[in-house]
Chains A and B, each alone.
Chain A
Amino acid sequence: MIIAIIALSVLAIAFGLLLGFAAVRYKVKTNPVVDQIDALLPQTQCGQCTYPGCRPYAEAIARDEADINQCPPGGEATIIALADLLGKDVKPLNEEHGEHAEKTVVYIDENVCIGCTLCIQACPVDAILGAAKLMHTVIADECTGCDLCIPPCPVDCIHIIPAIEDNKKIIVDLPDAPLLTNEPN
């Protein structure tokens, strides 16, 4: 009886120490769900979801404060991926936040630019290059098309243009094929 108690106590202490050690050694600092959600978001940092960037939105989703259909740049694909990850139902994009559109980038009309640096401060991904009273330009490859630089521009010299990619990849269309013979037309 006493031997059993001692043995169990020793085991309990040993496992307790082991667990305690593991808890300290392998402590998860951030919420892993946030990372997973963040990985699915398109990282435009546009703020259309009403959160100041993709990660804050991911945190809000993880806290169940935000819905999964608030990201217009991600569109349907992101919603499906999020629903899949979180075990939620797929729902259409909330149009309050905008519509899903083709990827664009911005272009600075360099003749008009006065070099105020306001757009540089607004760019979330450092895609605008320039200095005070010198011409600015957009690094098109780095631009995510968030359009955050447009409102601060005092001379309206920033324009939205479709993203041009060299050697653009083709996406083959999904062909039509009926699922059932009695499918209504």
Chain B
Amino acid sequence: MSSYNFIQKAVSHFNGGLKLAGHKEQSMQSGIEAALIPEELIVPLQQHIGKAAKPIVNVGDKVLKGQCIAKIETDSNSEEISVVTANIHAPSSGEIIAIEMHPLPSAITQSTKCIVIKTDGQDLWVDNLSPVSNPLELNKEELKNIIHKAGIVGLGGAGFPTHLKLVQEKPLDTLIINAAECEPYITCDAILIKEQAAKIIQGIQFILHALNIQKCLIGIEDNKPEAINALASALQNKAVDNIQIIQVPTRYPAGGEKQLIKTLTGKEIAIHSIPRDIGLVCHNVATAYAVAVAILEGKPLIERVVTVTGDNLKRSTNMQVLVGTSMSTILNACGYKESTTDEIIMGGPMMGFHLDSSDYPVIKTTNCVLVKNKKSKVEPLPCIRCGECARVCPANLLPQQLYWYVRAKDFDRVQDYQVFSCIECGCCDYVCPSHIPLVQFYRHAKTEIWTKEDEKIKSDHARQRHENRQFRLERKKKEDAERKAKKKALLQKKQGIDTSEQDSKKSAIEEALNRVKAKQTTVAKNTTNLTEEQQRQIREVDRRREDKIRQEKVLNKKEDNDNG
């Protein structure tokens, strides 16, 4: 090993950590087994933090291997690159039979929407794969685009979309490739390096090119001599001189991002900052391989190497597994007999996610499926404040202080003591003489704080909507009142016009009446203004008429009497 001059020893070390038994030999016996195609693939739309991808296929559609089935959900293309999601591709050819909620093996979400593909067994690739023959001549954007389209995410753990880590806001000087693989049992990276070292080096060169930086450090634990040798000979064959392999002492958690950077460069990353802030960027070695495959072969990320190991298995091995394959399928392939005394862990024994069954799909970040005999539960005892946890904490926290504050539900203090710097490596759990499940306390605090923050956002939103409604109602009331007042004013004004009109009419009528009266009174009768003579004549005429009437009456009386 020491014959290569590009293998060097680490310059620094991180505080704390543990020396753990490796258990890596079992699964390193054989090479990577080819993927088997299960009858059904359950492909989650969200396999990492951030947002879920949006399906672009419908139930009943036929899909080909490598076809994009879910994309980043955005309104405009300009936004696309910054949203934390990655494209998802069909891992094999077949028919979409459902798009439904399915439980997810993740500490982030309980369940997520999944595309269920019934495979046809033909495993036909899409025909428009576009391998690039001259990748180093492409510009940064083009490379980034290929990686983005291929749906590559960090394969080390968190699954952060890789294309987002290829942006260059600040000057970067060193690329760190994480090949430490510090957790016991897991060997998927080691075996990948052993078998595909040349391609990994190419992938690293592409990432260096995309980031426009020169220097790369590969951090690898010194318990993997085969992998180190494979990398070294690949480097020699390629005559690459800007990539260095750094042997890291085997000490858990050497593969933690901040711990590895401290070991390789001696630099510490401040709380709330990321390696980028000090000119470093960190990628997993399997990610580099996925980048090489995406660029050289045009194939998207649809499969990964998974270590299948543990107790109760006929054989332990590493398998190339299609994303969406049920864990029970790969466990059965290794001769696993289901038993109630076993527990299945996705990931390693320290940080892995304990599953209640083997019915979960393998996702892009599944590096290991581990079967372990269930430990008989040890009842925790009170904390005796021995301080062992603080001694082993690789993040330099005070685990027992955190523990007390979590117990007291004093989440402000919990945050003051930097619970979010906890990488949940489990060292404190491991050494605690009282067997207190400390990490679970911190997870509780973290999830509780996140939920509270979510609730706060929601309640602020509700308050805003309520206030908007109040404001609207108030405004409507005011407007109604104004409108009413206006209407009333208008009516009164109208009535005002009416009365004056009526007055004029009335007066007109009155005038007319008066005129008529006046006329009536003024009209001369022929009896007025008579002379003496005329009056006398009238009186005589009247007397004569009266006499005549009287004579007639008398005559009528006489006739009546005669007749009677």
Query: A69 at interface (Cβ–Cβ under 8 A)?
Result: no
Inter-subunit contact B409/A126 (CB<8 Å): no
Query: A116 at interface (Cβ–Cβ under 8 A)?
Result: no
Q: A43-B460, A125-B462, A126-B465 are in contact. Are A166 and B444 (CB under 8 A)?
A: no
Chain B residues with CB under 8 Å of A174's CB are 406-407, 441, 444
Inter-subunit contact A169/B450 (CB<8 Å): yes
Mark A103-136 against chain B: 1 for CB-CB distance below 8 A, else 0.
0000000000000000000001111000000000
Q: Choose one: A53, A125, A169, A172; the contact of B444 (CB below 8 Å).
A: A172
Query: B93 at interface (Cβ–Cβ under 8 A)?
Result: no
Could you tell me the distance in whole angstroms from the C-beta of A90 to the nearest C-beta in chain B?
11
Q: Which residue of B lies closest to A183 (CB)?
A: B382
Q: Choose one: B52, B381, B440, B460; the contact of A181 (CB below 8 Å).
A: B381
Query: B110 at interface (Cβ–Cβ under 8 A)?
Result: yes
Measured CA separation A80–B383 after assembly (Å):
26
A-B contact pairs, 5 of them (CB 8 A): A43-B458, A169-B108, A170-B447, A175-B380, A177-B441
Q: Chain A binding site: helix, strand, loop or mixed by DSSP?
A: loop
Query: A96 at interface (Cβ–Cβ under 8 A)?
Result: no
How big is the B interface, by class? Answer: 35 or more
Inter-subunit contact A45/B437 (CB<8 Å): no
Inter-subunit contact A179/B462 (CB<8 Å): no
Could you tell me the distance in whole angstroms from the C-beta of B301 to the nearest C-beta in chain A?
21
Chain B residues with CB under 8 Å of A147's CB are none
Q: A80-B409, A166-B113 are in contact. Are A54 and B463 (CB under 8 A)?
A: yes
Inter-subunit contact A166/B448 (CB<8 Å): no
Chain A residues with CB under 8 Å of B383's CB are 177
Chain B residues with CB under 8 Å of A124's CB are 466, 469
| With A167-B109, A169-B454, A174-B406 already in contact, 13 other A-B pairs whose C-beta atoms are closer than 8 Å | A43-B460, A43-B466, A45-B466, A142-B462, A166-B113, A167-B111, A167-B112, A168-B110, A174-B441, A175-B444, A176-B380, A177-B383, A179-B382
Counting chain B CB atoms within 10 Å of each CB, the highest count among A41, A77, A173, A175 belongs to A175
Q: A44-B462, A80-B409, A166-B52 are in contact. Are A177 and B382 (CB under 8 A)?
A: yes
Chain B residues with CB under 8 Å of A171's CB are 444, 447-448, 451
Chain A residues with CB under 8 Å of B380's CB are 175-178
Mark A121-164 against chain B: 1 for CB-CB distance below 8 A, else 0.
00011110000000000000010100000000000000000000
Q: Spell out B's residues near A (CB within 8 Å).
A: 46, 52, 107-113, 380-383, 406-407, 409, 434, 436-437, 440-441, 443-444, 446-448, 450-452, 454-455, 458-463, 465-466, 468-469
Q: Which residue of B lies closest to A178 (CB)?
A: B382
Chain B residues with CB under 8 Å of A142's CB are 461-462, 465
Chain A residues with CB under 8 Å of B462's CB are 42-45, 125, 142, 144
Inter-subunit contact A42/B455 (CB<8 Å): yes
Query: A28 at interface (Cβ–Cβ under 8 A)?
Result: no
Q: Which 8 A-B pairs have the closest CB atoms?
A: A43-B459, A43-B462, A172-B443, A167-B109, A125-B465, A177-B380, A43-B463, A172-B444
Measured CA separation A44–B458 after assembly (Å):
10
Could you tell me the distance in whole angstroms from the C-beta of A84 to the nearest C-beta in chain B?
9
Mark A20-52 against chain B: 1 for CB-CB distance below 8 A, else 0.
000000000000000000100111110000000
Measured CA separation A140–B434 after assembly (Å):
46
Inter-subunit contact A175/B465 (CB<8 Å): no
Inter-subunit contact B451/A169 (CB<8 Å): yes
Q: What count of chain A residues pass the 8 Å CB interface test? A: 33
Query: A180 at interface (Cβ–Cβ under 8 A)?
Result: yes
Q: Choose one: B110, B382, B463, B469; the contact of A126 (CB below 8 Å).
A: B469
Inter-subunit contact B382/A168 (CB<8 Å): no
Measured CA separation A78–B135 after assembly (Å):
57
Chain B residues with CB under 8 Å of A127's CB are 465
Q: Choose one: A42, A125, A167, A169; the contact of B52 (CB below 8 Å).
A: A167
Could you tell me the distance in whole angstroms from the C-beta of B88 to the nearest C-beta in chain A?
15
Q: Which residue of B lies closest to A171 (CB)?
A: B447
Chain A residues with CB under 8 Å of B107's CB are 170
Q: Which residue of B lies closest to A76 (CB)?
A: B409
Q: Which residue of B lies closest to A81 (CB)?
A: B452
Q: Which residue of B lies closest to A38 (CB)?
A: B463
Measured CA separation A179–B408 after assembly (Å):
11
Measured CA separation A77–B449 after assembly (Å):
12
Inter-subunit contact A168/B466 (CB<8 Å): no
Chain A residues with CB under 8 Å of B381's CB are 177-178, 181
Measured CA separation A174–B440 after assembly (Å):
7
Inter-subunit contact B459/A41 (CB<8 Å): yes
Inter-subunit contact A167/B463 (CB<8 Å): no
A56-93 interface (Cβ within 8 A of B): 77, 80
Could you tell me the distance in whole angstroms from the C-beta of A21 to the nearest C-beta in chain B?
31
Could you tell me the distance in whole angstroms from the C-beta of B75 to the nearest C-beta in chain A?
17
Measured CA separation A175–B444 after assembly (Å):
8
Could you tell me the distance in whole angstroms from the C-beta of B20 to the nearest C-beta in chain A?
23
Measured CA separation A126–B107 after assembly (Å):
34
Q: A42-B459, A43-B460, A126-B465 are in contact. Are A168 and B111 (CB under 8 A)?
A: yes
Chain B residues with CB under 8 Å of A181's CB are 381-382
Inter-subunit contact A169/B436 (CB<8 Å): no
Could you tell me the distance in whole angstroms from the C-beta of B421 to the nearest C-beta in chain A?
18
Counting chain B CB atoms within 10 Å of each CB, the highest count among A77, A125, A127, A179 belongs to A125
Counting chain A CB atoms within 10 Å of each CB, the highest count among B111, B407, B466, B468 belongs to B466
Inter-subunit contact A166/B112 (CB<8 Å): yes
Q: Which residue of A lies closest to B383 (CB)?
A: A177
